[in-house]
């Protein structure tokens, strides 16, 4: 069986065009936001293509999510409000429109933008399509990518934190139609609060979030003592890190808690990996110090589990580093050989000059506030919670 037959990549030029509408995808806010060269989505997909990785995957043009798909998690009033706002031709807001925006969170960091409904239908459609490719090919232990997904902050009836649709939840709901147990692993620097809330009381989905935790970092949730409710007690795991965590700390916790404990106890039938790139060193919104190589090591651990897997994007606010990371993780699921460290020449080549046109990232000199003692205490608490509450399956 060829690699191409079991690795699926959600892509089409039209899909990327609609997903690129997300305001935070713009690299330079003062430049033309419609310019492909000023957009994270185009950097990511062009670098993956430049490395020749498209040749080793089955490219799938994702089907847009329907309103019926969206309301499997989101409330009908929220979706209706977005549709109505998007259909307005008048650029000035009525009092009712202003009230709708406030009620549904379409202000501030998740402000309304023209084309928002097409955007959410494509992002959600990409993740639902990825789930369906995994379900259809489940006997091959497939992997399906949607690098435009991973929007883990959105709630059922409200936009939050640059997230207008929670495609992670919609993807997982779809997977639960075919699989008994789904493990959702979130390595974005921000806590996956919307996903946690959605699955907080179930034992069929285990949510694991490894994130920076502390004063001043959005969303302020993700305490290790938040372990679930009702049937879900023990099935919610928060690996809360302090500022400056490096590969040594990050990868060690990932292996000991996520792989050796969560996977072994929960025994998932499939995995959703929310692979936000803002835990990388140098991200303007995150304050961890993980390298691209650190992400690659975590990705290979997931690959080696040989389980059906959906890989989604998420945050990442240094666009070239995000592209470096997503290309590296894509390759990690395709081959045991690392990608060449030299960035291949392509239309976006000059964006990588900051690091000598290299793929990997150099760690910063940021202080690591995670001591051996604090990590051991955290690890002991997390493993104890899991072993105490999760029945051996």
Half-sphere exposure of 142 toward its Cβ, with a 13 Å CA cutoff?
22
Task: Read off the pLDDT of residues 11-20 as tens digits, 9 standing for 90 and up.
Answer: 999 999 999 9
> In whole angstroms, what is the distance from residue 203 CA to residue 213 CA?
25
Active site residue 45: no
Residue 4 per-residue DSSP state: G
Task: Read off the pLDDT of residues 133-187 as tens digits, 9 standing for 90 and up.
Answer: 999 999 999 999 999 999 999 999 999 999 999 999 999 999 999 999 999 999 9
The confidence band for 1, taking pLDDT boundaries of 50, 70 and 90, is very low
State the CB neighbour count (10 A cutoff) for residue 371.
Answer: 11
Considering only CA atoms, which of 72, 70, 54 is closest in space to residue 13?
54
Q: Is 191 annotated as a binding residue?
A: no
Q: Is 139 annotated as a binding residue?
A: no
Q: Residue 305 in contact with residue 350, Cβ under 8 Å?
A: no
Q: Is 278 annotated as a binding residue?
A: yes
Q: Give the chain's domains with CATH numbers.
A: 3-389 (3.40.800.20)
pLDDT at residue 191 greater than cutoff 60: yes
Q: Residue 79 in contact with residue 159, Cβ under 8 Å?
A: no
Catalytic residue among 45, 74, 152, 153: 153
């Amino acid at each position: 069986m060829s690699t191409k037959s079991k690795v699926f990549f959600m892509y089409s030029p039209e899909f990327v065009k609609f997903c690129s509408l997300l305001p935070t995808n713009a690299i330079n806010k003062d430049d033309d936001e419609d310019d492909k060269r000023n957009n994270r989505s185009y950097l990511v997909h062009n670098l993956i293509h430049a490395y020749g990785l498209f040749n080793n995957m089955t490219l799938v043009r994702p089907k847009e999510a329907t309103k019926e798909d969206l309301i499997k998690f989101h409330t009908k009033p929220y979706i209706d409000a977005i549709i109505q706002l998007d259909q307005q031709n008048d650029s000035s807001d009525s009092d009712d429109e202003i009230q709708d925006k406030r009620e549904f969170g379409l202000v501030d960091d998740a402000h309304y933008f023209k084309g928002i409904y097409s955007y959410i239908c494509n992002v959600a459609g990409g993740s639902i399509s990825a789930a369906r490719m995994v379900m259809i090919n489940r006997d091959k232990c497939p992997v399906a990518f949607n690098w435009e997904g991973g929007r883990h902050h959105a709630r059922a009836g409200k936009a939050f934190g640059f997230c207008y649709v929670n495609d992670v939840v919609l993807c997982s709901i779809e997977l639960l139609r075919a699989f008994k147990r789904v493990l959702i692993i979130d390595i974005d620097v921000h806590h996956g609060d919307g996903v946690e809330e959605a699955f907080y009381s179930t034992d069929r989905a285990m949510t694991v979030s490894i994130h920076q935790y502390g004063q001043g970092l959005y969303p302020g949730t993700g305490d290790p003592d938040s372990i679930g409710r009702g049937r879900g007690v023990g099935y919610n795991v928060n690996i809360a890190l302090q500022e400056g965590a490096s590969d040594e700390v990050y990868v060690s916790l990932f292996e000991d808690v996520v792989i050796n404990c969560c996977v072994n106890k929960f025994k998932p039938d499939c995995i959703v990996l929310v692979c936000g790139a803002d835990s990388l060193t140098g991200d303007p919104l995150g304050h961890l110090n993980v390298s691209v190589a650190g992400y690659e090591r975590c990705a290979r651990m997931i690959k080696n589990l040989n389980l059906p897997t959906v890989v989604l994007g998420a945050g990442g606010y240094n666009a070239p580093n995000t592209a470096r990371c997503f290309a590296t993780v894509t390759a990690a699921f395709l081959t045991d050989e690392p990608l060449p460290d030299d960035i291949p020449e392509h239309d976006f080549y000059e964006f990588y000059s900051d690091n000598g046109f290299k793929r990997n990232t150099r760690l910063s000199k940021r202080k690591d506030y995670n001591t051996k003692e604090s990590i051991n205490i955290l690890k002991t608490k997390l493993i104890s919670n899991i072993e105490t509450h999760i029945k051996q399956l």
